[in-house]
Amino acid sequence: MDAHSVSFPRRETRQVMVGAIPVGGGAPISIQSMTTTKTADVDGTLQQIYDLAMAGCDIVRCTCNDLDAAEGLARIVPRSPLPVVADIHHQYKMALAALEAGVACLRLNPGNIRNPEHIKLVAAECRDRGVPIRIGVNGGSLDERLYQKYGGKVTPEAMVESAMMELEYFAEVGFDDVKISVKASNVPLMIEAYRQLAEVTDHPLHLGVTEAGPGSAGLLKATAGIATLLAEGIGDTIRYSLTADPVEEARAGRQLLEALGLRERKNVDLIACPSCGRAEVDVIAIAEQAQAAFGDRQIPLQVAVMGCVVNGPGEARDADIGIAAGNKRGHLFVRGTNVAVVPEDEMVETLVEWAEFIVEHGIERALERGDLHAAKAAAEADRDQLLQTQGEDANASEQRVELIRKI
Ligand code: SF4
């Protein structure tokens, strides 16, 4: 930190793990967004998740509003590069189905799942599985009883009480792995609700202004609410709710954190698939080797390390450069176009060498450099061979789907 930099002291909280992403407890403030595709549309949703990961998103939420969506989650979760939070409203059974699908976190709205027995059942299931819950209070769907209690108005006090009531239900079954949000579309209301909440709990807080709306007005409203609280040290994870492509939400989150000095600007932006039943290599080891090889070098590219050539190049098609494993070979691709094939043990050095080439000469020259025809043919051959040996369901997602259908 240089002599002129100023930083905001952060409120101390306990820590919750959403998959591999820590929230609270001194962890970097994470960025969230939500897919706009139907969750049953597995490929469309995964593509959006990859786009979000490229834009700097850390945690993604998908709606789980019916059984088709839950079954979609069973197929999305093993292939998602980001931990997936299932968004649950009204139907507690969808929470159980999402857990069966393997999600990293649930978001429950206390305003519309009000039966204490259902709430406790879901919390007990999360406790047993080690899955956290976000209590997502929303000014627009506040519990009717609280609305009446506070004089037919949505007040900060009512929103905080709603969150604390939910925490008490959870405590009855010994569950407290929780982060909380008290969002509203009215910025002063939202700010005051979070301030009051921060006084009465040490759970990490998820910040957002709901229904901020389209365009610059939406961006400004969300920024006014989120930035004010962050500057006071309140907030551990954020989401811009914009009426826009979710990639815009992730970008806005990233820019805000950078502007406030809460997130460091990166050099190489390395993303890696989480690995799944299809992985042909040790993705974690190769991603770590690649991270070490790029180090702090001034290579401002998005670089993807993908475990298989079946889905890797497609899922990471927006990365500037990436490599996917298949049949003991590394398939190098530039913006989704296969450009070269190398032995598996040369994957990392090839990635670095081509990244340097792109920085020096640009994407177009890199595409001209490769033998695109041969690279594509090799990738297709290895992809077909993997599909033949692994089958269509390498992640055993269909077994999870069967369990979901029994709920
Ligand atoms: S191994 Fe393949 S299918 Fe699995 S997460 Fe990685 S790229 Fe996606």
Cβ–ligand 1 contact at 218 (below 6 Å) = no
Evaluate whether 104 touches 131 at the Cβ level (below 8 Å).
yes
Same domain for 247 and 274, yes or no, is no
> Do the domain assignments include residue 1?
no
Query: 279 C-alpha to center of ligand 1: Å?
Result: 6
Average pLDDT over residues 93-115: 95
Separation of CA 6 and ligand 1 centre (Å): 41
Residues 218 and 147 in one domain: yes
Centre of ligand 1 from the C-alpha of residue 309, in Å: 8
CA pair distance 185, 90, nearest whole angstrom? 21
34 lines ligand 1 (CB under 6 A): no
Same domain, residue pair 326 and 211: no
Of 298, 400, 407, give the one whose Cα is nearest residue 358: 298
Mean pLDDT across 254-261 = 89
Is residue 118 located within the same domain as residue 86? yes
Residue 61 domain-assigned (yes or no): yes
* Confidence band of 177 (pLDDT split at 50, 70, 90): very high
Q: CATH number for the domain including 279?
A: 3.30.413.10
Q: Among the atoms of ligand 1, which is closest to the Cα of residue 395?
A: 4
DSSP code string of 393-406: -TT-HHHHHHHHHH
Confidence at 359, pLDDT banded by 50, 70, 90: very high
Q: Would you say residue 407 lies in a domain?
A: no
Average pLDDT taken over every residue of the chain = 93
Q: Could you tell me if the CB of 273 is within 6 A of ligand 1?
A: yes
Rounded distance, CA 171 to CA 123, Å? 9
Q: 312: CA distance to ligand 1 center in Å?
A: 6
Is the distance from the beta carbon of residue 397 to the nearest atom of ligand 1 less than 6 Å? no
* Ligand 1 in reach of 355 Cβ (< 6 A): no
Q: How confident is residue 3, by pLDDT bands cut at 50, 70 and 90?
A: very low
End-to-end Cα separation, the chain, in angstroms: 53
* 8 Å CB contact between 61 and 30: no
CB 53 near ligand 1, within 6 Å: no
Contact 76, 46 (CB under 8 A): yes
Final residue belonging to a domain, choices 259, 289, 311: 259
Identify whether residues 247 and 286 lie together within a single domain: no
- Determine the average pLDDT of the residues in 267-271: 84
**Would you say the CB of residue 76 lies under 6 angstroms from ligand 1?**
no
Q: What is the pLDDT of residue 1?
A: 39
Same domain, yes or no: 249 and 355: no
Distance 205 CA to ligand 1 centre (A): 31
If you average pLDDT over residues 249-271, what whole number do you get?
A: 86
Same-domain check for residues 295 and 202: no
| Shortest-distance Cα residue to atom 2 of ligand 1 | 308
Mean pLDDT calculated for residue range 329-354: 96
Read off the pLDDT of each residue in 104-132 and give the average, rounded to a whole number: 96
Order of strands across the sheet with 302-306?
269-272, 302-306, 321-326, 329-334, 337-343
CA of 83 to the centre of ligand 1 (A): 14
Whether 311 lines ligand 1, by a CB cut-off of 6 Å, is yes
Ligand 1 centroid to 306 CA: how many Å? 6
Share of the chain above pLDDT 90, in %: 79
Query: Average of pLDDT values for 122-129?
Result: 98
Q: Which domain holds residue 70?
A: 16-259
Rounded to the nearest angstrom, the distance between the alpha carbon of 80 and the centre of ligand 1 is 8
Quick one: which atom of ligand 1 is closest to the CA of 274? 5
Question: Ligand 1, atom 4: nearest CA belongs to which residue?
Answer: 276
Distance (Å, rounded) from C-alpha 256 to C-alpha 115? 38
Same domain flag for 273 and 254:
no
Cα of 79 vs centre of ligand 1, distance in Å, is 5
Residue 274 Cβ inside 6 Å of ligand 1? The answer reads yes
Q: Which of 285, 321, 286, 282 is nearest to 300 (CA)?
A: 321
What integer is the mean pLDDT of 49-73?
Answer: 95
Same domain membership, residue 346 and residue 213: no
Q: Which long-range contacts (CB under 8 A, 24 or more apart) does 397-405 make?
A: 397/74, 397/75, 397/78, 400/74, 400/100, 400/101, 400/102, 401/71, 401/74, 401/75, 403/100, 404/67, 404/70, 404/71, 404/74, 404/97, 404/100, 404/101, 405/67, 405/71
3-class DSSP state for residue 88? Answer: strand
- Predicted confidence (pLDDT) at residue 193 exceeds the cutoff of 60: yes
Query: Which atom of ligand 1 lies nearest, measured to the CA of 306?
Result: 7
Mean pLDDT of 287-298: 88
Bridge partners, 16 (sequence order): 23
Beginning with the edge strand found earlier in the chain, give each strand of the sheet holding 206-207 in spatial order.
178-183, 133-138, 105-108, 84-88, 59-63, 30-34, 237-239, 206-207
Question: Residue 327 pLDDT more than 90?
Answer: no
Q: Is the CB of 279 under 6 A from ligand 1?
A: yes
> Is the pLDDT higher at 167 or at 271?
167
Residue 249 and residue 294 in one domain: no
Residue 174 backbone class (left: φ over 0; alpha: ψ -120 to 50; beta: rest): left
Q: What is the mean pLDDT of residues 313-338?
A: 93
In terms of domains, do 185 and 235 share one? yes
Look at residue 401 and tell me if it is in a domain. no
Mutate which of 278, 281, 386, 387 to test ligand 1's pocket (most atoms within 8 Å of Cβ)? Answer: 278
222 assigned to some structural domain:
yes
Angle at alpha carbon of residue 310, lines to 248 and 282, rounded to 5°: 90
Answer yes or no: do 248 and 309 share one domain: no
The domain tally of the chain equals 2
Residue 303 to residues 48, 228, 237: CA-CA distances in angstroms? 17, 33, 24
Cα of 296 from ligand 1 centre, angstroms: 27
Distance 354 CA to ligand 1 centre (A): 22
Rounded to the nearest angstrom, the distance between the alpha carbon of 1 and the centre of ligand 1 is 38
For residue 342, CA distances in Å to 326, 328, 333, 386 come to: 10, 9, 11, 17
pLDDT recorded at residue 2: 40
- Which atom of ligand 1 sits closest to the CA of residue 79? 5
Q: What is the CATH number of the domain that holds 212?
A: 3.20.20.20
- Mean pLDDT, range 163-183, rounded to an integer: 97
Q: Does the residue 101 lie in any domain?
A: yes
The pLDDT assigned to 266 comes to: 63
> Is residue 149, in this structure, part of any structural domain at all?
yes
User: What is the mean predicted confidence (pLDDT) over 373-401?
Assistant: 91
Residue 106 has pLDDT above 80, yes or no: yes
